[in-house]
A and B are shown apart, each in its own frame.
Chain A
Amino acid sequence: MTRRFFLKRLGGALLTLFGVAVFVFVVLRLIPGDEITAMLGIESGTLTEVQRRALESYFGLDEPPISQFFGWLGNVMTGNLGYSMRSGVSVASLIADALPVTIELAVLSMLFGIVIGVPTGIFAATRQGKAPDVVAQSFGLIGLAIPNFVIGTFLITITASQFGYFPNAAGYVPPWEDLGLNLQQMLFPAISLGIVLAGSIMRTMRSAFLEVSTEPFVRTARGKGLSRRRVKWVVIFRNASIPVLTITGIQFGYLLGGTVVIEQIFALPGLGRLVLTAINQRELAVVQSTVLVIAAMFVIINLLVDLLYARIDPRIEIQ
């Protein structure tokens, strides 16, 4: 891995983040309503000129947008993400509360997707066209086609109404307080998200495996007298894992952005819910900084995937 490769990717990542910052800032200013109307509602219309000026200067709205933007960005750089206007809690601590929930959910969903998707993909590929392949592919397609909230709702309906089992009802419990209960609370949402992932991972794994199998270098490997097992795992699997890594990385990035609907269904206080609530309450500071943090995570994950790529596929650096 060359230094240049790393620096180039890092530069690209920072540029992306800056673009996201500009975008979020502009969009939030385009939405009708500012902090003052959000706080006071229709009563904001009754404010006197002096009161309004005082509030505007309190929120910094009297400054030109450019200096508002760089003021915000400067604060973010120094670690100050702003404050929630209603609760007075810092955005940093809101994120610190929500992030572990989202990360845990993302990791568990990802694990579910990989553990199910990779072996079934290979299993299907090595039985191409036969019954197990058709069955596996159909399940993959079903997994992809059903929206995750349908799976989530379905799981809740069955277990909660038929068996009275709904561990999420009591409110979210962090893993360090009660790991057992926490995992129970995470199980269904992770499955709901993981099934979709498993579907796409399985299909990508299968097609990549089949494609690599016909490459001439696989024949070379067999021609050297390597065992079938070695050809399958060392030669084919390693080459076929490259596209799987790509989609896994992208999906993981999305998951870290918070999964609004699933978090809503299972009452998990993750990033998705944080942003959704903040948008409803016009908490501009919260939305702005949280979205930037989400984007940063997405970019970091992609950067890591790129670096991992270069480790698996030596050709990446050249291109």
Chain B
Amino acid sequence: MALLEVQDLTTSIVRRSGSVPIIRNVNLNVDKGETLGIVGESGSGKSVTMLSVMGLIPSPPLAITDGAIRLKGRDLVGADEKTMQAVRGADMAMVYQDPMVSLNPVMRIGRQIEEGMTAHHVGKNEAQQRTLEVLGEVGIPDPPRVRDLYPHELSGGMRQRVMIASALALSPDLLIFDEPTTALDVTIQQQILYLVRELQRSTGVAVVWITHDLGVLARLVDRVAVMYGGRVVEVDDIEPLFSEPRHPYTEALMASVPGMHDDERAPLRQIPGSPPDVNHMPPGCPFQPRCEFAIERCTREMPPMLSHGTGESACWVPREEWK
């Protein structure tokens, strides 16, 4: 049994006038200790997918309208608030995109980490002890001093370490990182990446890493799910995905990353057109209007996810026929 199973998950904007799905039939599996990357452009639904798992989508207007989410076999869709509270922080924890605004500005660092533990019935003394421990684990120098600081007294990188420490406090089985390094300097990015990789190795925690940066994934994850227009269009192990992508979008995404040895006078390659708007989803495959290999069928029918070797992809046109 996978640690996390997401089955046919659909999350929609629900309004009186009707509901508009923003992620559709998403399937994901994360095994114990596995590291899954979710990659896609902004608006592709990667954050919404994982916020749905955490039960943290802004509701209303968002709501899970279909599918199942199982964490350690327990279904979380339709679970009551009490159950979700017990699961959040303890079984799975999330680290968010912008550490500058993700910490409570009027509460000391230590208290913020402790309150997560006391909410799960950890004793006060034990929580304080553990706070110093996790602050040390994430490489914060002088934890007893930092514990008594306010967020604004720390740099962005330090704040993100605090967020990670807070997520680690109750030793969850699953850590979700939502573009945790996007708001940080490149050098700090490297440090955070290195830190998470080390934590993953030492604790065996399963990690879901959301990013739009393929380069980051190569150094961190075992498996990648590529999302486009609210759907997962390809899932594969990192090696085959990079060497032989099965979906034209994955291929295009990789081609658009400038390489070290590119001819510097050649124009930067980009994917023509822009990502679809949830209110005006194209018929058939969401990528079809921007796809250079699209055939007539793509505009009519959404291709199903088909298995091939190590992965699955949703495209009517096999890789061999791309030209």
Which residues in A have some Cβ–Cβ distance to B below 8 Å? Answer: 214-217, 219-228, 230, 234-235, 238-239, 312-315, 318
Docked-complex contact B81 and A228, CB < 8 angstroms = yes
Nearest CB to that of A215 among chain B residues?
B101
Docked-complex contact B106 and A222, CB < 8 angstroms = no
Chain B residues with CB under 8 Å of A220's CB are 96, 102-104, 163, 166
A233 to chain B minimum Cβ distance, whole angstroms, is: 12
21 pairs, A vs B, C-beta closer than 8 Å: A217-B102, A217-B104, A219-B102, A220-B102, A220-B166, A221-B115, A223-B54, A223-B56, A223-B89, A223-B96, A224-B89, A224-B116, A225-B87, A225-B90, A226-B85, A228-B81, A230-B119, A312-B106, A314-B105, A315-B150, A315-B152
Chain A residues with CB under 8 Å of B103's CB are 217, 220
CA distance A225 to B121 in the complex (A): 11
Docked-complex contact A216 and B85, CB < 8 angstroms = no
Docked-complex contact B85 and A225, CB < 8 angstroms = yes
Interface centre among A227, A239, A312, A314 (most CB of B within 10 A): A314
**Known: A314-B152, A315-B150, A318-B152. Is A224-B105 also a contact (CB below 8 A)?**
no
B137 at the interface (CB under 8 A from A): no
**Known: A230-B119, A315-B152, A318-B152. Is A223-B105 also a contact (CB below 8 A)?**
no
Q: Mark B285-318, 1 if CB is under 8 A from A, else 0.
A: 0000000000000000000000000000000000
CA distance A216 to B141 in the complex (A): 26
CA distance A224 to B152 in the complex (A): 20
Interface centre among A217, A234, A235, A239 (most CB of B within 10 A): A217
Chain B residues with CB under 8 Å of A219's CB are 56, 96, 102
Chain A residues with CB under 8 Å of B116's CB are 224-226
CA distance A73 to B103 in the complex (A): 50
10 closest cross-chain pairs (CB), A and B: A224-B116, A225-B89, A225-B88, A314-B150, A224-B89, A216-B101, A216-B102, A217-B104, A225-B85, A226-B119
Chain B residues with CB under 8 Å of A225's CB are 85-90, 116, 119-120
B98 at the interface (CB under 8 A from A): yes
Which residues in B have some Cβ–Cβ distance to A below 8 Å? Answer: 54, 56, 58, 81, 85-90, 93-94, 96-98, 101-107, 115-116, 119-120, 150, 152, 163, 166
Nearest CB to that of A213 among chain B residues?
B58
Docked-complex contact A224 and B81, CB < 8 angstroms = no
Docked-complex contact A239 and B106, CB < 8 angstroms = yes
B200 to chain A minimum Cβ distance, whole angstroms, is: 20
Docked-complex contact A227 and B119, CB < 8 angstroms = yes
CA distance A224 to B166 in the complex (A): 8
CA distance A257 to B93 in the complex (A): 53
Docked-complex contact B101 and A217, CB < 8 angstroms = yes
Docked-complex contact B150 and A224, CB < 8 angstroms = no
A61 to chain B minimum Cβ distance, whole angstroms, is: 55
CA distance A315 to B120 in the complex (A): 29
B102 to chain A minimum Cβ distance, whole angstroms, is: 5
Interface centre among A216, A220, A238, A315 (most CB of B within 10 A): A220
Nearest CB to that of B55 among chain A residues?
A222
B74 to chain A minimum Cβ distance, whole angstroms, is: 15
CA distance A226 to B86 in the complex (A): 9
Chain A residues with CB under 8 Å of B163's CB are 220
Nearest CB to that of A221 among chain B residues?
B104
CA distance A238 to B101 in the complex (A): 16
Nearest CB to that of A219 among chain B residues?
B56
